[in-house]
Structure 1
Amino acid sequence: MSTGFSAGSQALGYMFQARCALYLILTNKEEAQLAIESLDDITFFDNENNAQELLQLKHHTKPASLTDSSVDFWKTIRVWSTLLKENKILLPDTLLTLVTTAEAPQDSAAFFLRPTKGRDSNRAVKKLVQVANTSDNKSLKSSFDAFKALTSTEQELLVDSIQILDYSPDIIDLTPKIKEKLVAVRREHRNSVYERLEGWWFGKVVQHLRDNSVNFISGFEVRDKICEINDQFKPDALPIDFFDLEIPEQFTMSQDKRRFVAQLKEIAVNNKRIEKAILDYYKAFEQRSRWAREELLFGGEIEKYEKRLIDEWERYMLALQDEMPDSSENELEHQKFGREVFKWMEQKADIRIRSQVTEPYVMRGSYHILADQNPPRVHWHPKFLERLTQLLATT
C-alpha cells in the first residue's frame, strides 16, 4: 500500500549528499576540512575549526522551481536563521550556500541570490520579508517564525550571506564532474580510479557519520587516496580490490565438489586451510575478472602468468621427487609430499603477475584456478592425476 513516502528519493538524497561532498572537497583547496551532518548537510571548516561555509543540498528527480514560497528554500532559511539566533555561526564570515537541482525563476528572491552580476540581496530580503509576513502556508509557519525572529539587521546580514547554486548537476551528472577533477589520472584509467575512489569515499562518509571522534575529512586525505589508487595503475602494478572479500554465508565446504578442493582433501589438509584456499580462489577469480573487464591486462598476460606458475610448481615438484624413493607407495608419504608442495605454494612462493602486485591471494588463488581445471594443470598429491578418473566418479 502506498503511503506517499518515497524511500527511493530519500536514499538518492543521501547518495547525492555524499557524492556532492566528494565533488566539493575536490573543488576546494587541499587544506579544506569537511564535515557532513554537522552544522548543516555539509560544512567546511578552516584550520581553527571555524565554519567557513554551510551547504544545504536539495535533490529532485523531476523538474522543480525555487520560488519565493518554495518549501526547500524556506526550510533552509529556517535552519540558518536558527543557527544565527543561537550564535552558532558568525556572519558575514560564513558563507551560506544552497545547492539545488531546482531552478530559480527570474525575479525571484533565489534568482537575486545567485553568484552572478545580477545579484541583489536587498531585493531578495524584501521579497522574503513580504512572504514571511503575508503567506498563510501553515506548513512553513515555523520557517517564517524563525526568520521573523531575527532583527531587520540580522535578516539583511543572513540573506546577504546566502548564495543560490540552482540548476546544479543531479546525482548522475555529478559523476563526470568529479572525473574532471582527476586531472593527474591517465584518461584511460579515469573510470576505474573514479569507481574505487567513490567506493572508498562512501565508506569514509559512513565511518564519519558513525564515529563521533572523526570530526573532519580533509582534502589532503582525499588527494592522498587518489594518489594511492592511481599508483595501482602504473605499468608494473594492478589494482587490488578484493582483500576484504568473504566467503558467502550459505557456503558449505562438505558439499564443495570442485577439483581444487578435492585435491586438498586428498593430501589431508585441515579444514581451516581449505577454507582459506577457497577464499583465495574466490578473490583471485573476482580480481582477474575485474582486470579483464576493465581491460587492464596486456595481450595474453594471464596465460603467460599461468605458464610461469606452472613452470615454478613443476620445478619444485621435480626437486622434491628427487628426494622421494622411486618405489614408495606409502599413502602417508604421498600425502606428506603433497602437503610440502602446497606449503611451498602457500608460504614460500612469490610469483607475481607484475612486480608491484604483492597481494598473495592473486598467486595463491591462481594456483587453485589451475588446480580446478579439467584436467588439472597443477596438483599436489604425486598420484593425483592417476586417481582422477576414480576420484571424479566417487565425487
Structure 2
Amino acid sequence: MDNTDSNSVDDASAAALGFYYQSQFALLTLMSQPDNDAGVAIERLDDVELKANGQQLLFQLKHSVQDNPPPVTLASVALWKTIKVWTDALPLVSLADTTFHLVSVGKVPDKSPLSALCDAQADREALLRAMVEEAQRVVDERAGATDGKARHAARAPGCEAFLALDPSVRLSLLRRIRIQQESVTIDQIPDRVAKWLHLLPKQQRLQAAERLLAWWDQQVVYTLCGKRERIIQRSELEQCISSIIAQLEEERLVADFDVMPHPEDYKADGMLYRQIELVDGKPSDVTRAVREQWRAKEQRAKWITDNPQMRSKIATYDAKLTEHWSDRHVRMTEDCEGLDPAQVQAQGLDLLRWTHDFAPNQVEPIAPSWQGHYYVRGTYQVLAIDLQVGWHADYRKLLKE
C-alpha cells in the first residue's frame, strides 16, 4: 500500500492512513459482494485479497489525501511497484482464476495506453507494447548511467520483473488486470458504508456504519496478530450488522401507549388494588395505577412480540427499578418502627406516590431515547402484582394473611 503524497504529511501519518484505508476498503468491498461465501484478507497476497464465487481478486491500493491526486500513467512509480507485487504473486495463484485490481483515487489520462485497463473488454496489445517499451527504457537508462546516479530506483524492480516474464505471460497478466480509477477516499468510506445499510432508517445509517467500522477494525487487528483466521467471511459481517440493527432498535424505543387510554372495561389484577388498599390509597391513586399498569403491560408485550431479545433488557430494567424501590422501602420500614398503623399507612402511601411523581425522573430510562414516563410508573404496578415490590412496610406478611 503506497501513499502517494507522503510529502504533504509526515511518513508515519501517511503509513497509518494507508493501512487504515486498506482496512476500510476491504470492508466496503466485502459489503458489495452478493456471494454469501465471500471473504477478504488484508496484507496476505496483496493489500486486499477477495475470494468470491470461486474467483480470487487481488487489490493494490494507491490512496492519496491531496486535493488533486496524481494521475496513473506509464511513468507512475505506483504502477510499476504494483507490477512487481503481482509478478511476485504469480507462482502463488491460478492466473485463470485471478484478477488484479489497481485501485487509485487518481485518474488515468484519457489518451493514456492504460485506459485499456479501465475496460475489461478492451484489447491489451497496444498497451503491452507501450509497457515493454517503457520498461526497457527504464532498464536501459539505469544501465547506461555514467554519472554514478542510480536512476529510476523505485520503478526498476517492477520494470525488470515485467520484462523477465515470458511474452505470453505478460499478455495474460494484462488481460487479468483492472484499474479502478477515481476510487473512494478514506474520508468518504463511512458514508459509502452507511449507504449499504439500507435496512435501517436514514437517520440511523451513519451511526450504524461507525459501529460497524469499529467492529471491523478490531477483526482486522486480530487477523494480523493471529487471534483469528486471516479471512473475514461475509457471514460474520452480516451477523455483526444484524446485531447492530437490534441494538439500535432497542435504543430507538417508541412510546406506543403514551396517551392511549385503557379499555373502559379493563380491570387490573386484584393484587394491584389490595396493595394500594393496604396504604389507604385514594381513588385517584387507584385510577392512576390502573391506567399506567395497563400501558406498561401492553408496551412490554409489544416490545417482546416485535423483538424477543427485549426480554433480557426488560428483565434487567425490572431489577434496576426493584433496587431503587428497595432502597426506599428498607429505610421506610426502619422509620416505621414504633409508629401507629395510620402513620405506617401514610409512609407507604408516600412510597406509592413516589413511583408516580418522582421515580420517572430519578431512575434512568430503559433506553437513552426513551421518553414515556408511564413505563416506570406502570412497571412498578406490574412488579407490585407479582409482589416483587410493595408499598406497606409489612406488605408481604399482610397480603399473605
TM-score (norm 2): 0.59
Corresponding position: 1:353 with 2:365: yes
Query: Deviation at 1:314?
Result: 4.4
Unpaired runs of at least 5, structure 1: 239-305, 328-350, 358-395
1:22 to 24, 27, 47: 27
Counterpart residue number, 1:106: 110
Which structure 2 segments of 5+ residues have no match? 1-6, 142-151, 254-316, 339-362, 370-401
1:191 shift after superposition = 1.4
Q: Which residue of structure 2 aligns with residue 205 of structure 1? A: 220
1:127-173 deviations in whole A, cap 9, x for unaligned? Answer: 11111111232432211111111100000000110000011111112
Is 1:13–2:18 an aligned residue pair?
yes
Matching residue within 218, 224, 230 for 2:233: 218
SS in 2 for 1:322: helix
SS at match of 1:133: helix
Question: 3-state SS of the aligned residue for 2:249?
Answer: coil
Q: What is the one-letter code of the residue matched to 1:18?
A: S
> Are 1:161 and 2:188 counterparts?
no
Residues of 2 paired with 1:214 and 1:352: CA distance? 41
Determine the C-alpha separation between the residues in 1 that align with 2:225 and 2:79: 28
Q: Are the aligned partners of 2:191 and 2:206 in contact in 1 as well (CA < 8 Å)?
A: no
Q: Do the aligned partners of 1:42 and 1:55 also contact (CA within 8 Å) in 2?
A: yes
Q: Letter of the aligned partner of 1:322 in structure 2?
A: T
CA distance in 1, matches of 2:195, 2:8: 40
Counterpart amino acid of residue 128 in structure 1 = M
Residues 91 and 158 of structure 1 are in contact (CA less than 8 Å); yes or no, is this contact kept in structure 2? yes
- 2: CA distance between counterparts of 1:129 and 1:212? 44
- CA positional deviation for 1:174: 2.2
Q: Distance in 1 between matches of 2:240 and 2:95?
A: 34
Cα deviations across residues 59-85 of structure 1 (Å, max 9, x unaligned)?
01222111101100110011111221x
Q: Does 1:97 align with 2:101?
A: yes
Query: Is contact 2:190-2:206 (8 Å) kept?
Result: no
1:75 and 1:57 map into 2 onto residues whose CA distance is 11
The residue type equivalent to 2:83 in the other structure is I
Corresponding residue for residue 126 of structure 1: 129
The aligned amino acid for 2:60 is Q
- 1:248-267, Cα deviation, whole Å (9 max, x unpaired): xxxxxxxxxxxxxxxxxxxx
Identical positions, percent: 27
State the partner residue of 1:58: 62
User: Aligned pair in 2 of structure 1 residues 147, 46: CA closer, same or farther (>3 Å)?
Assistant: same
Higher helix share: 2
Deviates more, 1:150-159 or 1:119-128: 119-128
**1:185 counterpart residue number:** 200
Flag the 1:176–1:140 CA change in 2: closer, same or farther, 3 A. Answer: same
Report the count of equivalent residues: 261
Question: Once the 2 structures are TM-superposed, how far is the Cα of residue 120 of structure 1 from its aligned partner?
Answer: 2.7
Aligned to 2:341: none
Note if contact 1:237-1:354 (Cα within 8 Å) is conserved in structure 2. no
Q: Is 1:322 paired with 2:333? A: yes
* Structure-2 change in CA distance of 1:310 and 1:107 (3 Å): same
Q: CA offset at residue 45 of structure 1?
A: 2.3
Contact 1:51 1:89 (8 Å CA) reproduced: no
Q: How does 1:258-273 map to 2 (within 5 A)?
A: none
Residues 321 and 90 of structure 1, relative CA distance in 2, 3 Å threshold? same
Confirm or deny: 8 A CA contact 2:120 2:178 kept in the other structure.
no
Given candidates 82, 86, 101, the residue that maps to 1:80 is: 86
What's the counterpart of residue 32 of structure 1? 38
Partner of 2:185: 170
1:66 and 1:73 in contact (8 A); partners too? yes
* Shift in CA distance, 170/3, structure 1 to aligned 2, threshold 3 Å: closer
8 Å CA contact retained: 2:60, 2:103: yes
* Alpha-carbon distance in structure 1 between the residues aligned to 2:250 and 2:85: 51
Shift of 1:320: 5.4
In 2, the alpha carbon distance for the partners of 1:213 and 1:51 equals: 23
Could you tell me how far apart the structure 1 residues matched to 2:8 and 2:195 are? Answer: 40
- AA partner of residue 111 (structure 2): D
Name the counterpart of 2:74: 68
Q: Secondary structure at the match of 2:187?
A: coil
8 Å contact kept, 1:231–1:237: no
Distance across 2 between alignment mates of 1:198 and 1:133: 44
Q: Distance in 1 between matches of 2:81 and 2:250?
A: 51
2:247 matched residue in structure 1: 232
Residue number in structure 2 paired with 1:297: none
Kindly provide the amino acid, as one letter, of the partner of residue 38 in structure 1. R
Distance 1:148 1:116, change over 3 A: closer
Structure with bigger gyration radius: 2
Q: What's the TM-score, normalizing by structure 1? A: 0.60
Code of the residue aligned with 1:126 in structure 2: it is: R
Query: CA 1:115–1:212 in 2, change beyond 3 Å: closer, same or farther?
Result: farther
- Offset at residue 322 of structure 1 (A): 2.3
How far apart are the structure 1 equivalents of 2:85 and 2:337? Answer: 84
Q: Secondary structure at the match of 2:93?
A: coil
